[in-house]
Structure 1
Amino acid sequence: MSLTITNPAALHDPVPFGYSHVVAARPSEVVHIAGQYGSDAQGGVVAEDFATQVETAFTHLGTALEAVGLDFSHVVRLGTYIVDHDTDKLEALVGPIRKIWGDRPPAQTLIGVASLALPGMLFEVDAVAVRP
């Protein structure tokens, strides 16, 4: 699989914010990963702390990818959902993204929301991955 990441000069540099503007993959099979959150083994929210929920959600995303023979390098798009989004929460999100993808993050849309599926959920991430 060949991934081409494009960050047009006419747009701002998105990499410091944890995403790329455009990711194209060829040839491929598209794999969609449902929203992952900071859950325990029974599906309950693992912690009240936002950063802990983010870290746990990305760990679960890695587990879901691994279950279908993929890893983070196959991810081309993230959807991130943050309850009561602010810049402090943005920093807690960008850190794990930098750790996982370095200077080649996937395309991403961050959506601030009033609430998520369960009480206490502060963060959720879904993904689109590509199987070569």
Structure 2
Amino acid sequence: MKRTPVNPWDWSLKLGYNQAEMIQGGMRQLICAGQTAVDETGAPQHPYDMRAQISLALDNLEAVLSDAEMDLSNVTRLGIYATDVDEALKNFDLMGMRFGPHQVAPPMTLLGVTRLAIPGLLFEIEATAMA
């Protein structure tokens, strides 16, 4: 799979994402449901702790990708939902720590929402991946 960043401006690069990416040669596509801070039984973890929830949601995303024989380097699009956008952005260094080693900056959208499906959850991340 060949990824070519498309950035008519460079401001988004400072925030850790490309405006778009041209994907060529991808043969498998994985569309992941939103991953949150739940354990293997679906029980919410770390109520009202944004940083811990982002970390666990990323762990869960990586587990789904791994089960499909992929990793974060295969992610081509992210959708992120947060009940407090400012608090999520304060903790976005976690995103860089996870995606940075893979040298990818997938296009993303971050939306503020009034709540998520399970009370106490603050952060949800969905992804599209290709291999």
Q: Where does structure 1 differ by over 6 angstroms across 4 or more consecutive aligned residues?
A: none
2:19 to 15, 18, 21: 21
Question: What is the RMSD of the two structures over their aligned residues, measured on CA atoms?
Answer: 1.4
Percent of pairs with identical residues: 32
Residues in 1 aligned to 2:85 and 2:68: alpha-carbon distance in whole angstroms: 31
Number of corresponding residues? 127
Give structure 1 stretches of 5+ with no counterpart: none
Residues in 1 aligned to 2:67 and 2:111: alpha-carbon distance in whole angstroms: 27
Greater strand percent: which structure?
1
Structure 1 counterpart SS, 2:11 = coil
Residues in 1 aligned to 2:88 and 2:109: alpha-carbon distance in whole angstroms: 15
When normalised by structure 2's length, the TM-score is 0.90
Give structure 2 stretches of 5+ with no counterpart: none
- Are the equivalent residues in 2 in contact too, given 1:97–1:105 (CA < 8 A)? no
Task: Kindly report which structure 2 residues correspond to 1:1-132, keeping only aligned pairs within 5 A, or say none.
Answer: 1-8=1-8, 11-28=9-26, 29-48=28-47, 49-86=49-86, 88-92=87-91, 94-102=92-100, 104-131=104-131
Residues in 2 aligned to 1:125 and 1:3: alpha-carbon distance in whole angstroms: 21
When normalised by structure 1's length, the TM-score is 0.89
